[in-house]
Amino acid sequence: MKRVVITGMGTVNPLGKSVPEFWKNIKANKLGFSYIDQFDNSDFDIKFVGAVKDFDSSSVIEKKEARRMDRFTQFAVYAADEALRDSNTKFEDLDPFRVGVIVGAGIGGLQQIEQEHTKFLEKGPDRISVFFVPMMIANMAGGMISMRTGFKGANFPIVTACASGSHAIGEAFRKIKDGYLDACIAGGSEAVITKFTLGGFNNMKALSKSDDLTKCSTPFDAERQGFVLGEGSGILVLEELEHAKARGAKIYAEICGYGATGDAYHMTSPDPEGLGSAKAIELALEEAGVSPEQVDYINAHGTSTGLNDKYETKAIKLALGEQAAHKTAVNSTKSMIGHLLGAAGAVEAIVTALSVKEDFIHRTMGYEHPDPECDLDYVTEGNRETKVDVALSNSLGFGGHNATLCFKKYVDGEERS
């Protein structure tokens, strides 16, 4: 079996249009929330979103080409460009059929669907854009990345709602570990901040109605109201270790475990017993050869919804055991950027990898009121500079999809079975 490392990362999200900018703002505990100004929201009592402000893809994508891409595809291409530049290679020494592209999306080109459907209703079917179908389908982010890079290996999307980004990274990890690929561009992208989307999530009572920007996303807090809808993309370059070492690559962290399970329970609620998510954690630890006591940090799914936070807490305790769980630092990046749906797991994987590399765990923002059913160490008092050798990143998606990734600090020369 091959070992898999992260050698490049790229992102665009509410706190930055590059990994360095994003990480700087994470460390500064900045909030990526803003008042809704993309459309008239007077029909809603929702005030805030996690929007990417002033996004300009022209440095990476020609304007004519950009007009033929939905915003979620532009985000993915933009982040992939940064990730490849960060990795300092175009993999020209590899067979292009040995370099894959696996990029997930929870929904895909919803902006195009809304736009063209409105045009259809107002002007008739003849006015629908000839680019409508390729712009809205969820696989186009990965398709466009492959066309621009020439990578011809396994190329498919993962569509598992809010677990899409983590599943994409996990499947890419397995492709390299099992010898099918030498490298893979993997992650997730989403751009669905529209009136239609907010209406749907609002009617589900999933969104925060807070009128306080500093308290609109408060994972694990007893008074949490729901999540803030965000957008963006996270893309990682995964590479077989020996190839990375041979070219002198910078290595952020090693991915050494992946768990994927289904709850088989409910369309939107996680399993109240936490069984599915707990099993995903257990599978990731088993593959990584890690005991519960060795886990230093978990980047939780942590949506700030009543059911998710409670049941994820239960899953962590079930998987690690009460004693180990209470000694493990748990935080939620969504407390600063909101919920990026299909991109969430990928952006949070970037945070987890950097936490491992730099021995740093960011604070969970907005927490004030303890919940007796959420009783773990949620890093609420401030950032921590502490040793992080092993970390997990959890994702849970509507439909009962669970994913856990296990990251280890890379130590040159260290052998692993």
Question: Catalytic positions, please?
Answer: 162, 301, 339
d(CA 218, CA 365): 7
β-pairing, 297-299 vs 329-331, is parallel
Label the pairing between strands 297-299 and 183-190: unpaired
Per the CB < 8 A criterion, the answer to whether 49 and 33 are in contact is yes
Cα separation, 138 vs 105, whole angstroms: 6
Collapsing DSSP to helix, strand or coil, 393 comes out as strand
How many angstroms separate the CA atoms of 396 and 300, rounded? 9
Q: Closest Cα to residue 260, out of 364, 99, 104?
A: 104
Of 116, 108, 171, nearest in space to 141 by CA: 108
Going by DSSP bridges, is the β-strand pair 99-104/183-190 parallel, antiparallel, or unpaired? parallel
Q: Tell me the C-alpha distance between 319 and 334, whole Å.
A: 22
Is-contact 103 345, C-beta < 8 A? no
Intra-chain end-to-end CA distance of the chain, in Å: 8
